[in-house]
């Protein structure tokens, strides 16, 4: 089954290049293309009112957009369609923006300078419940951790704690931090994919998060791995 991608990007030339990429790449399809978040939100509302849902199951979201920011649009789309995967695709790689996007509900964070081949590879991780994070973004998150500054990612305070994670859960969390998909983690740890999913559910519950990106961010901030 193809991964149906909707693009929210105000640069027409860049948006056109993405449209071409997803139209002609096996395993992907172009589910929609919008020059502003408002148009995408209006489309969701129109379909909802008629008892339907968008055909797209993944959104590529720019951040600097007309009318509504990508951060706010991510929050609104997640509120309406919690199961929808949203991956930020932007030029911004500062820690504050990355954290804000993850807290808003982004399932991944990629940079526009990412080559097309790597972009496609990262997006395929979504189908395997992975968390797309380019190496540059992962380094930025790690830098944020090292600064040891308070973050909106967690309401917890005090000394770092492993939050009662078992040894196996810590190993699975390490795989998420490395950007591995569930299948890759299963292969790496020599366990079944369903066992990995079970550990992931336990990790989410103990870390009080709802996505792999949130789990990675909290793990890095609190030095859980």
Which residue, among 209, 216, 148, has the nearest Cα to 224 in the 3D structure? 216
Using CB atoms within 10 Å of the CB of residue 11, give its burial: 0 to 12 exposed, 13 to 18 middle, 19+ buried. Answer: middle
- Which sequence spans correspond to the domains of the chain? 3-143, 158-221
DSSP state of 179: T
Q: Are 11 and 33 a contacting pair, CB within 8 Å?
A: no
pTM: 0.67
Closest to 172 measured CA to CA, from 137, 134, 142, 131: 131
SS3 at position 180? coil
Segment 140-152, tens digit of pLDDT: 665 655 554 444 4
Which architecture, in CATH terms, is 158-221? Orthogonal Bundle (1.10)
pLDDT in tens, 87-97: 999 998 887 78
Q: What CATH architecture applies to the domain 3-143? A: 3-Layer(aba) Sandwich (3.40)
């Amino acid at each position: 089954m193809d991964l149906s991608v909707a693009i929210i990007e105000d640069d027409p030339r860049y948006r056109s290049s993405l449209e071409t990429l997803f139209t002609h790449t096996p395993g992907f399809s172009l589910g929609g293309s919008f020059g502003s978040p408002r148009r995408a939100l209006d489309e969701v509302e129109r379909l909802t009112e008629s008892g339907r849902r968008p055909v797209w199951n993944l959104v590529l979201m720019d951040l600097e957009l007309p009318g509504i920011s990508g951060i706010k649009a991510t929050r609104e789309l997640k509120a309406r369609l919690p199961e929808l995967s949203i991956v930020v695709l932007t030029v911004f790689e500062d820690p504050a923006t990355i954290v804000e996007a993850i807290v808003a509900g982004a399932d991944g964070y990629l940079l526009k300078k990412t080559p097309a081949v790597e972009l496609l590879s990262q997006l395929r991780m979504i189908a395997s419940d992975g968390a797309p994070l380019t190496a540059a973004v992962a380094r930025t998150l790690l830098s944020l951790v090292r600064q040891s500054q308070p973050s909106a990612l967690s309401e917890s305070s005090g000394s770092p704690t492993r939050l009662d994670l078992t040894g196996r859960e810590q190993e699975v969390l390490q795989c998420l931090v490395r950007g591995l998909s569930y299948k890759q983690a299963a292969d790496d740890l020599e366990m079944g994919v369903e066992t990995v999913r079970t550990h992931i559910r336990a990790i989410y519950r103990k870390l009080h998060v709802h996505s792999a990106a949130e789990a990675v961010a909290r793990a890095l901030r609190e030095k859980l791995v």
